[in-house]
Amino acid sequence: MIGYGNSMFLATHGILARGASGAPVDPDAQAFITAAAITDPTQQTAINTLVVDLKGYNIWTKMKALYPFVGGTASTHKFNLKDPRDLNAAFRLVFNGGWTHSSTGATPNGTNGYADTFLIPNTSLANSSGHLSVYSRTNISGFFYDMGAASGAGTAENSVISRWTDNKFYSQYGTPTYPNTANTDSRGLFITNRNSATNTTGYKNGSKVIDTAQTSSQLSQTNVYLGATNAFGSSTNYSPRNYAFASIGDGLTDTEAANFYTAVQAFQTAIGRSIGTQTVSDADAQAFVTNAGIVDQVEANAINNLVIGLKSDNLWTKMKAVYPFVGGSATTHKWNLKDPRDLDAAFRLVFAGDVIHSSNGALFNSVTANGFADTKLASNGTLAQNSTHFSAYSRTNNASGGYIMANGSASASGEAKMFTRWFDNNCYSGVNTFGQVPTANSDSRGYFIANRISATQHSVVIRGTKIDFNTNSSGLNTNTFRICSALNVSYDNKQIAFSSIGDGLTATELSNLNTAVVAFQTTLSRNV
């Protein structure tokens, strides 16, 4: 038995002898921690708790493969918790094509990325008892399989499809047809399951949502792929979803499926990447998280840290509108962090025309030049002539004749406008003045701030570098600010991941705002 005196030695060598409570670590958890070289104490404890929970629920023995995706690299993500040997026979993953590995899990590129589990349903599972599961952190529809295998055209498959193009969850186990149910959110734990020879079930976040009378006719004789399906020996239907957990094993009862979700959700929450109702510490951040329906723990924590940081730097009170573009949809991207009410008076965004929403932000005008977001915030009545800033974070590099933010339709007195990169490789900006002035810029990616704190000078901050211009303010415009457009003209083709409007900022405040926004984007893995 390992004594307390050896705990520090083992912990410093990536081996967790005892948990936070002093209780010995489960030997199966320890085997995985050692094989995958998991050195983070939080992840070590989470793995141990997961194993203990699954054993307590009498689910552990039903598992053939468990992929917890901890450690943040391909070399740690590949290991099967049930049998952490680096062998095909142990069903460890082999990643093919393009994948991104991070603390939130493993993400295939949607083009050629998939992972081979080396588990063949016909060999390792039973016709009347089996399941496949994935925990997705991405909400997107498409021609994507999350996990699957098929032996030949028209034959039975084993697959999980959390959200197809028709907004349905498909659960297929040993049949050529696809039991399904309506589903518009592909985030959470999805289980394809069979617990009898005559019935297929499907679970989302522990609740049974599919229950179809079907006889299992044949199990697939090809390896199960994750992030795609193995269609008769070839990978296809590649997914771009972020996976934080996956499993394959025997069939689960309704109670076991619910308990399985409880254990997996506790594991995700412990390492800070759960999908579900979120609670954060700051009251203003919580109001936004609740009203905008932010269910991603990483996003909720990022919002919380952003608000705390803005308050610490005395920037919060200077903001009239802050748009963090989290949640991945128009209904979550529209909210103003400063006043999360669904009202024009609260300056929530109204999207129009060509806008594509994703976890990376809102992409404007990728197809046609008619997309924008109206902030409903006009300078006149909200801002001061000699104290105004507006900003936008762009993830797109292109030369464009479109404004990244503007109020008004043409050069006129009192307008606020900014081109991040005009065709001559200059950034043009103006704040409450006539026209705009240039500064050299050949990359339209990053964080841009236009700012005025005096009657005779305005400045622009490009990726943290501040440039001052001697321009007089001339008034306040009565038109509302728009993102990626002026007033029905000059549409910009950019993906926007943050925007703000508020009072003018000092040099220190500009620097602190840039630091806060870059840190926010970095946390969300979308900094450029």
Rounded to 5 degrees, what angle do the CA atoms 69, 42, 358 make? 50
Task: Map residue 261 onto helix, strand or coil.
Answer: helix
Mean pLDDT of 175-181: 90
Give the Cα separation of 450 and 461 in Å (integer). Answer: 7
Q: Where does 40-270 sit in CATH, by number?
A: 2.60.120.200
| Residue 1 confidence (pLDDT) | 25
**421-468 confidence digits (pLDDT tens):** 999 999 999 999 988 899 999 999 999 999 999 999 999 999 999 999
| Residue 7 confidence (pLDDT) | 34
| Continuous segment of H or E residues that includes residue 105 | strand 105-108
Yes or no: say if 446 and 393 are a contact pair by the CB < 8 Å rule: yes
Nearest Cα neighbor of 242 from 109, 143, 98, 96 is 109
Q: Where does 283-523 sit in CATH, by number?
A: 2.60.120.200
Mean pLDDT of 63-76: 98
Mean pLDDT of 31-40: 98
Mean pLDDT of 480-488: 93
Mean pLDDT of the residues in the chain: 93
**133-168 confidence digits (pLDDT tens):** 999 999 999 999 999 998 765 567 899 999 999 999
> Does pLDDT of 12 surpass 90?
no
| Residue 216 confidence (pLDDT) | 83
| Residue 157 confidence (pLDDT) | 86
Give the Cα separation of 331 and 343 in Å (integer). Answer: 13
Would you say the pTM of this structure is higher than 0.75? yes
Mean pLDDT of 209-226: 92
| 278 secondary structure, DSSP code | -
> Does pLDDT of 202 surpass 60?
yes
- Write down the domain spans for the chain: 40-270, 283-523
Amino acid at 316: W
N residues, the chain: 528
Amino acid at 396: T
Pairing of strands 180-182, 188-196: unpaired
**323-377 confidence digits (pLDDT tens):** 999 999 999 999 999 999 999 999 999 999 999 999 999 999 999 999 999 999 9
> Does pLDDT of 4 surpass 70?
no
Yes or no: say if 232 and 150 are a contact pair by the CB < 8 Å rule: yes
Nearest Cα neighbor of 50 from 297, 204, 259 is 259
Nearest Cα neighbor of 171 from 125, 133, 116 is 133
Amino acid at 123: T
Write the Ramachandran bin of 463: left for phi over 0, alpha for psi from -120 to 50, otherwise beta.
left
Yes or no: say if 234 and 114 are a contact pair by the CB < 8 Å rule: no
**234-292 confidence digits (pLDDT tens):** 999 999 999 999 999 999 999 999 999 999 999 999 999 999 999 999 999 999 999 99
Here the tokens at position 525 are 């893995």
> Does pLDDT of 67 surpass 50?
yes
| Residue 23 confidence (pLDDT) | 65
**Sequence-ordered strand ranges (E) for 441-488:** 446-452, 458-462, 465-469, 480-483
Give the Cα separation of 517 and 528 in Å (integer). Answer: 12
Reported as a pLDDT band with limits 50, 70 and 90, residue 13 is: very low
